[in-house]
């Protein structure tokens, strides 16, 4: 079975004390994670070292950065490099999140550069893709997401593409009051997997974890994760509430 992942994206939230308290509660729970399950905490950059130290004894838990720059070092004030992340034990990073694309103007080309440098340093990319409401309303979501994959991932050789985790974010279902049905979620995940299969083959397509990133909560996690092509979630707001994220972790496929 593909690796099933519950990834928490804390975004720009919590003070250091709040972050420590939340991690303590989450890590104090008993999960009995299997070999094909893992939990990833994408915490704000100032908390990476603290979080890494706290999860050190938990073999199925990992820390992710929420962003990284496409150069290893240099005069790029305010940026964080893969070398810096490696030096503190961080081995996952979110790439191309919808907020980075929308608010910071990240292009497919820039995102591809970030994927490349992560692969060079054996850091796992959680690559985000997904469409906004106007795209969904004209039924162009497949071609839109396909373009994102083509431009930022599908130039990779097979031995590298399988090292990437993909997260599908229906932007139209995040904080808008609209929700994606489990059928819509499965439909898009199956489409993404079919595009991987078309380009690389069935073995590669069946080995890549594809997460859902559209307002996953304790109340809908089990139904969403039960879909055959959904391999867990990239969770925003609900990951800041201990009991919510605990339930989401426990909803992962065994």
Annotated catalytic residue, options 52, 92, 97, 99: 97
Report how far residue 163's alpha carbon sits from residue 50's, in angstroms, rounded to the nearest whole number: 26
Backbone phi, psi, residue 237, to 5°: -55, -40
Tokens of 246: 């605990």
Report how far residue 29's alpha carbon sits from residue 148's, in angstroms, rounded to the nearest whole number: 38
Report how far residue 121's alpha carbon sits from residue 241's, in angstroms, rounded to the nearest whole number: 32
Whether residue 52 lies in the annotated active site? no
Whether residue 58 lies in the annotated active site? no
Report how far residue 162's alpha carbon sits from residue 11's, in angstroms, rounded to the nearest whole number: 26
Of the candidates 2, 39, 33, the residue with the CA atom closest to the CA atom of residue 239: 39
> DSSP string of 100-118?
HHHHH---HHHHHHHHHHH
Report how far residue 112's alpha carbon sits from residue 149's, in angstroms, rounded to the nearest whole number: 10
* Inter-residue contact 64 to 90 (CB < 8 Å): yes
Integer CA distances (angstroms), 221 to 87, 150, 245, in order: 34, 29, 10
Annotated catalytic residue, options 99, 106, 131, 169: 169
Catalytic residue ranges: 97, 169
């Amino acid at each position: 079975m593909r690796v099933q992942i519950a990834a928490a994206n804390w975004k720009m939230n919590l003070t250091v004390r709040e972050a420590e308290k939340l991690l303590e509660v989450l890590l104090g729970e008993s999960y009995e994670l299997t070999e094909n399950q893992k939990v990833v905490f994408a915490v704000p950059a100032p908390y990476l070292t603290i979080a890494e130290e706290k999860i050190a004894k938990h073999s199925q838990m990992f820390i992710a950065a929420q962003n990284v720059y496409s150069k290893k070092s240099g005069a790029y004030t305010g940026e964080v490099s893969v070398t810096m992340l490696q030096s503190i034990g961080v081995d996952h990073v979110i790439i191309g999140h919808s907020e980075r694309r929308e608010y910071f103007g990240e292009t497919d080309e820039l995102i591809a550069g970030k994927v490349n440098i992560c692969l060079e340093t054996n850091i796992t990319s959680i690559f985000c893709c997904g469409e906004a409401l106007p795209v969904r309303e004209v039924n162009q979501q497949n071609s839109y997401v396909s373009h994102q994959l083509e431009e930022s991932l599908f130039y990779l050789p097979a031995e590298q593409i399988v090292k990437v985790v993909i997260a599908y974010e229906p932007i139209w279902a995040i904080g808008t009051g609209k929700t994606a049905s489990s059928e819509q979620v499965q439909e898009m995940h199956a489409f993404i997997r079919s595009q991987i299969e078309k380009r690389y083959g069935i073995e590669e397509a069946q080995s890549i974890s594809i997460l859902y990133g559209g307002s996953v909560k304790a109340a809908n996690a089990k139904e969403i994760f039960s879909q055959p092509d959904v391999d867990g979630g990239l969770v925003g707001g609900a990951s800041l509430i201990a009991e919510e994220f605990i339930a989401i972790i426990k909803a992962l496929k065994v």
